[in-house]
Amino acid sequence: MRAGRTDMRASSEKKLNILLASTKVRAGGEAVHVYTLARELTLMGHCVFLLTSAEDGGMCAEMLRGRVFFAPISDHSPAAQMRCISIIKKLVKEYKFDVIHCHGRDSVFYFKCAGVRVPCVFTCHSLSLKTDVFHRVLAGGAAMNIAVSGASKKFMMEGLRIPETKIRVVQNGVDPSALLPLTDAEKAVLHQRFFIAPGSRVACMHGRFDPRKNHVVIGRALAALSPEKRAGLVILCSGSREVPFYNTLIGELRELGVLSHFRFTGWTYTRDILGMSDLLLAPSTEESFLMTALEGFFMRVPVARSKTGGYEEMKDICLGYDAMDVKAWSGILDELAESDGALYPDMTERAYDCAMSRFTSRHMTEKILEVYLSVI
């Protein structure tokens, strides 16, 4: 036993050459996850490389300068597939990677086609992947698979038919170091920028504009309140407006008569939008984990979220509702309108303490490193 522990400790201290592969590195939950993982691994002394279909390297470009490689992973034409396989073979031969971590099924498939013998780990970030026989084959072949939540593990077992013995659950984590409360002066500037009147009660939805994020249920919940109740409520929504669903959402909110209560902030720093808010709303119809909830915990903002993927892992430190339960969402907005102080302060403090012990990016990275070491 003593020798085994010594071997594991020696292995954990080994500095690894790690190749991350992801097509989604510009924006969104997967991009943040990949960036955060790469940053933590680098800080721990490991050498991190990125293979991506984003030619500019996305969020990782500056941090991994000189170690970002392009391959047309998202292009499924025969010519692109051959090019991907050629690029992969060349990279693996030149850089002698210890482990490859794929954040998409396409890249798992390409590494398999290239005959790469370096151990490959696959993380499933979505519960909406196709599960027919052909698409299940794409995910097959990884030495180990990572689920980001219990719901993700269930999907991987039942939908992707991956054996339970080849799945490890590693919950997502975020870096809390920059998630500090806003000063009064900072908050005043932001309130002026987004036309938030003094005395308003502010809720926010932080993410992209997508039907699955379910912004419209908040519009319906707001419309269900009396005009007097909703008069002082403001809903902040971050995310690029250059997407088709944005205009659809605007039309729906206008029909509901609540558009004037919404402020669309565009791309916004997490600290800014959460720092302005008294409540974080996340009524998504589908999530694998919901990293935004963790950011709310670290910012000491109460979180009201849908009972989708990741809810079971945090149900004691947030409020949970069915995604389409307009009455429930209207109820929490009613509470916000009636309150004149912090909502659920005891829960919020417990959430902060829990997040610091379970949901930091360092904790996540250490668990992922354990997976790497188990397959090397």
Three-class secondary structure of residue 26 per DSSP: coil
For the chain, what is the mean pLDDT?
A: 92
CATH number assigned to the domain covering 2-173+360-375: 3.40.50.2000
The radius of gyration of the chain from alpha carbons, rounded to an integer in Å, stands at 22
| Residue 167 phi, psi (nearest 5) | -125, 135
| Residue 158 phi, psi (nearest 5) | -85, -40
Give mean pLDDT, residues 259-270.
Answer: 96
C-alpha span between 38 and 46 (Å, rounded): 9
Tell me the per-residue pLDDT of 47-63, one tens digit each, with 9 for 90 and over: 999 999 888 889 899 89
Tell me the per-residue pLDDT of 166-190, one tens digit each, with 9 for 90 and over: 999 999 999 999 999 999 999 999 9
pLDDT at 129: 80
Three-class secondary structure of residue 72 per DSSP: coil
Q: Which of 8, 176, 54 is nearest to 20 (CA)?
A: 54
Asked whether residue 240 carries a pLDDT value surpassing 80, the answer given is yes
C-alpha span between 364 and 120 (Å, rounded): 18
pLDDT at 27: 80
Listed in sequence order, the residues at least 6 apart from 200 whose beta carbon sits closer than 8 Å to its beta carbon are 232, 233, 234
Q: Fold identical between 2-173+360-375 and 176-358?
A: yes
Asked whether residue 245 carries a pLDDT value surpassing 70, the answer given is yes
CATH number assigned to the domain covering 176-358: 3.40.50.2000
CA 28 to chain centre: 6
Asked whether residue 200 carries a pLDDT value surpassing 50, the answer given is yes
Tell me the per-residue pLDDT of 88-107, one tens digit each, with 9 for 90 and over: 999 999 999 999 999 988 88
Asked whether residue 2 carries a pLDDT value surpassing 60, the answer given is no
Listed in sequence order, the residues at least 6 apart from 304 whose beta carbon sits closer than 8 Å to its beta carbon are 279, 280, 281, 282, 283, 318, 319, 320, 321, 329, 332
Cα torsion through 336, 342, 347, 348, rounded to 10:
110
3-state secondary structure 74-115: CCCCHHHHHHHHHHHHHHHHHHCCCEEEECCHHHHHHHHHCC
pLDDT bucket at 26, cuts 50 / 70 / 90? confident
For residue 330, give the H/E element and its range.
helix 326-338
C-alpha span between 306 and 281 (Å, rounded): 9
Q: Are 87 and 71 in contact (CB under 8 A)?
A: yes
Greater model confidence, 28 or 70: 70
- Token digits for 287? 């999530």
Say which DSSP state 213 is in: G
DSSP 196-212: --TT-EEEEE-S---GG
Angle, vertex CA 155, rays to CA 150 and CA 160, nearest 5: 140
pLDDT at 1: 36
For the chain, the distance separating the N- and C-terminal CA atoms, rounded to the nearest angstrom, is: 20
C-alpha span between 23 and 19 (Å, rounded): 13
pLDDT at 4: 45
pLDDT bucket at 12, cuts 50 / 70 / 90? low
Q: Which of 2-6, 165-169, 229-233, 345-349 has the lowest mean pLDDT?
A: 2-6
Give mean pLDDT, residues 281-308.
Answer: 96
What percent of the chain is predicted at pLDDT more than 70?
96
Angle, vertex CA 218, rays to CA 150 and CA 176, nearest 5: 50
pLDDT bucket at 8, cuts 50 / 70 / 90? very low
Give mean pLDDT, residues 239-266.
Answer: 95
pLDDT bucket at 9, cuts 50 / 70 / 90? very low
Every domain of the chain and the residues it spans:
2-173+360-375, 176-358
pLDDT at 229: 94
Cβ neighbours of 58 (radius 10 Å): 20
Cβ neighbours of 361 (radius 10 Å): 22
pLDDT at 75: 84
Structure-token match 């690894």, residue found: 16
- Record the pTM: 0.89
C-alpha span between 23 and 215 (Å, rounded): 26
Distances (CA, A) of 46 to 9, 14, 35, 61: 16, 8, 14, 17
Q: Which of 143, 99, 105, 111 is nearest to 124 (CA)?
A: 105
pLDDT at 145: 96
pLDDT bucket at 139, cuts 50 / 70 / 90? low
Give me the half-sphere count of Cα atoms (radius 13 Å) on the Cβ side of residue 208.
17
Give mean pLDDT, residues 233-262.
Answer: 96
Q: Are 137 and 106 in contact (CB under 8 A)?
A: no
